[in-house]
Structures are given as C-alpha cells and as structure tokens.
C-alpha cells in the first residue's frame, strides 16, 4: 500500500489482485449508507456486479452507466450523474465510486467535487493508464470543445483501489496506451526505473503480473511524491505533463477519442525529447532507445501529419501551463530530470513544429 501524503486529506493506494471485490476495503472507506457507482457501457458488464456484491447489503446503491469514450467527457454527459443522485435522494454522506478508465474517474471525481458542494469518492481504475496516472492526484473535470480538461477541480479521493486482475480484459491498444504513461514516469522521475522498465519491456508487453504490479507501484509512488510536494500544480507537478502540451493539441485537433490519450502522449513525449535535444538540454543519444521501445509496443512516434503549424500553436496556447500568454513546456535535461520552462519562443516553436510535426501542409 502507498500513501498520498496530503496531511488530513492523505489517502491510500491499494495495489493488489482482487482489490475490486475486497469488501474490507469498501468498509474502510465508505462513510455513509449510500453509494453511487459511475461506470461505462463497456465496463459495466464486466465488473459492475462484482463491485456491488462487495458492498454492504444495507448500502443504498445507485448506478450511472455512461457512454464510452473521450468524446463523451462533457458537461452534458456529466449531468447524468447529478440526475441519478438527485432522483434517488443521495445526500452529503453518499460516496461516489468511479469504476472505469480515466474518463470515468475524471467525470465521477468532478461530480463528487461539485454535488452538494462535495461528497466523498473512491477511484477504482480499470485501465492501465488510469491506474498509473489519472486515478491518483485529484485532478477531475471534463473537456470543452475549445480545450481538454478546461473545466474541473482539484479534489482528492478517499482511496484508490487498483486491481491488477482487471488488466487482463484490456484490448491491446488500450493496454499499450497505458504503457505510454508508465514510460513517462521513467523519463521524468528515475533513470534507474527507466532502465528497469526497458530491461523488462517484453514482460510488460506480455502483461506479466509480477512485473506489471511493480511497474504500477513504482509509477504511482512517483506520482504520489510529486503530488504531495505540489498538489495544485504551482510548479513541480507540471513535470507530470511531459509531452502533454503536444498530446492535448493532437487530441483536440483530431477530435476527442480518435487518438487514445496514451497514444497522443507517446507522440508528444517524442516531440518533447526532440525539442529538448534541439535546445541543447538533452543528449541526442536519449532519443533512439525511446523510439525503439515505443514502436515495439505499437505506440506512435510521430504526430498526425495533417495539423498545420498555426493550428498547433493555436491549440498549444490554450494549455493550462501557459502564464500571461506565454507558453511553458516540460522538457528533459536527462532521463529522470524533467523541468518546466518558458524559454522556447514562439518563433522557435513554429520552426520546430514545421520540421517535426507536420507534412508541410498549407497554413
């Protein structure tokens, strides 16, 4: 068990096979006699009954089944959670249980932050990406047509329950997308972890349970330490967004859900390393091993080539890390040492994007 150390709002991260159906974990963290399970059309047939059977029979349980996909991460769909909660008479002691991937976790968490001005919630992530990233740290919210995750709140869960058994049901594409975030933690947090991951890349690709559990634990530990030091992203926490400024632009330009988040992050990380190298921060030898690794797990190493440079810049200017109209990017000095900088001018970025992120289409 890990702990996200936030004083009186600290919470545990349980990483174990069978956590989803462990009744003791729910008894520890459900404070009232009501619960709302928020899940999706794809996850519900697999795990909803298993979760409900683990709850105390005396608990009043309501269920919200949302459509799958990033394209449904919106205010309009979010209202479905409020509708169910209000119609069933859920009060301030209810606990919202987020059963699913990152989209469900973000939406259920935002609903918890805002329903009756805040009710408890528990993250039960069912994708690798959500297990190592979005379920930890308290970022909640929805997308807007003009930007990803622009409407939301920092709101910490009561606990995170990570059941490694559920990863067996993930389609290969979604599993690979989760590996992108695992690789990110090696790049930003720890050279030794990065080397450890590379040495076990075949085992990770094969979903070896022992290796996978350790990779999840070490990824979560990295994120927990960063969040404890900078909960609301005043500075340090931004390093968790390596490649994400590029990735969010890809997702917005292509339409939410066309590229999976982890796929966009993979291509975005490559761009971040290329830019780090071109600025003289990072040794050029760092790039080739990452490209080989990403290709081996079927992740993209190039962004879509149909985004015009000015469109890239328009979308990147909306990034939440931008301050006073000045874009800030997460780059690398070496493997394991990421930093936030505003020392890339728009002219430099325009030239860089023209060389590395577009097929030279007309502006």
Q: Is 223 a catalytic residue?
A: yes
Residue 355 annotated to the active site:
no
Instruction: Give DSSP secondary structure letters for 277-312.
Output: HHTTSS-GGGHHHHHHHHHHTT--SS--TT--HHHH
Pairing of strands 159-162, 60-66: unpaired
Question: Active-site residue 237, yes or no?
Answer: yes
Which of the following is catalytic: 231, 233, 251, 263? 233
What DSSP line would sit under 174-191, residue for residue? HHHHHHHHHHHHHHHH-H
Is residue 326 a contact partner of residue 349, using CB atoms and an 8 Å limit?
no
Which residue among the candidates 143, 174, 241, 328 is catalytic per the annotation?
241
107: how many CB neighbours lie within 10 A of its CB? Answer: 30
348 is catalytic: no
List the catalytic residue out of 117, 232, 324, 347. 117
CA dist 4 → 167, 221, 227 (Å): 23, 8, 7
Task: Check 149, 237, 251, 263 and give the catalytic one.
Answer: 237
Among residues 264, 258, 218, which one has the least CA distance to residue 243? 264
* Residue 337 appears among annotated catalytic residues: no
Considering the candidates 72, 73, 90, 139, report the single residue annotated as catalytic.
139
How far apart, in whole angstroms, are the C-alpha atoms of residue 60 and residue 94? 9
Burial bucket for residue 318 (CB in 10 Å: 0-12, 13-18, 19+): middle
Cβ-Cβ contacts under 8 Å for 261 (sequence gap 6 or more): 70, 102, 129, 177, 247, 251
Using only C-alpha atoms, the chain has a radius of gyration, in whole angstroms, of: 20
3-state secondary structure of 125: strand
Q: Look at the block and give the residue holding tokens 């690398």.
A: 332
**181, 231, 251, 263: which is the annotated catalytic residue?**
181
Catalytic: 117? yes
Q: Is 90 noted as a catalytic residue in this protein? A: no
Classify residue 146 as exposed, middle or buried by CB count within 10 Å of its CB (0-12, 13-18, 19+): exposed
Q: Is 244 a catalytic residue?
A: yes
The CA distance from 269 to 358, in Å, is: 16
Check if 139 is active-site: yes
- Could you give the C-alpha distances from 226 to 179, 237, 291, 350, in angstroms and in order? 20, 6, 26, 31
Q: HSE-up of 64 (CA within 13 Å, CB side)?
A: 27
Determine contact, residues 241/213, Cβ cutoff 8 Å: no
Kindly name the residue from 148, 248, 251, 263 that is annotated as catalytic: 248
Q: Which residues are catalytic?
A: 117, 139, 181, 223, 233, 237, 241, 244, 248, 261
């Amino acid at each position: 068990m890990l702990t996200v150390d936030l004083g009186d709002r600290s919470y545990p991260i349980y990483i174990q096979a069978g956590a989803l159906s462990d009744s003791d974990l729910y008894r520890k963290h459900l404070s009232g006699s009501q619960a709302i399970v928020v899940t999706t059309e794809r996850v519900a047939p697999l795990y909803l009954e298993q979760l409900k059977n683990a709850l105390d029979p005396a608990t009043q349980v309501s269920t919200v089944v949302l459509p799958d996909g990033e394209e449904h991460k919106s205010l309009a769909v979010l209202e479905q959670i409020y509708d169910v909660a209000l119609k069933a008479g859920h009060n301030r002691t209810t606990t919202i249980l987020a059963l699913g991937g990152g989209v469900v976790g973000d939406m259920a968490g935002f609903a918890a932050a805002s329903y009756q001005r805040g009710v408890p919630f528990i993250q039960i992530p069912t994708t690798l990406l959500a297990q190592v990233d979005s379920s930890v740290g308290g970022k909640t919210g929805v997308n807007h047509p003009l930007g990803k995750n622009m409407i939301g709140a920092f709101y910490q869960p009561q606990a995170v329950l990570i059941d490694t058994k559920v990863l067996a049901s993930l389609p290969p594409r979604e599993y690979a997308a989760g590996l992108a975030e695992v690789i990110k933690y090696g790049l930003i947090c720890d050279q030794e972890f990065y080397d450890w991951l590379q040495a076990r890349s075949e085992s990770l690709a094969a979903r070896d349970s022992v290796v996978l559990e350790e990779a999840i634990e070490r990824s979560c530990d990295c994120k927990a330490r960063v969040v404890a030091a900078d909960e609301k992203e005043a500075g340090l926490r931004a390093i968790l967004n390596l490649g994400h400024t590029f990735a969010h632009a890809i997702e917005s330009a292509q339409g939410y859900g066309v590229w999976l988040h982890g796929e966009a992050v993979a291509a975005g990380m490559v761009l971040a390393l290329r830019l780090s190298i071109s600025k003289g921060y990072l040794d050029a030898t760092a790039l080739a091993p990452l490209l080989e690794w990403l290709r081996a797990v079927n992740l993209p190493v190039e962004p879509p080539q149909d985004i015009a440079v000015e469109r890239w810049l328009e979308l990147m200017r909306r990034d939440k890390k931008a301050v006073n109209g000045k874009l800030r990017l997460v780059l690398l000095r070496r493997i394991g040492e990421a930093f936030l900088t505003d020392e890339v001018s728009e002219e430099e970025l325009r030239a860089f994007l023209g060389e590395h992120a577009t097929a030279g289409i007309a502006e």
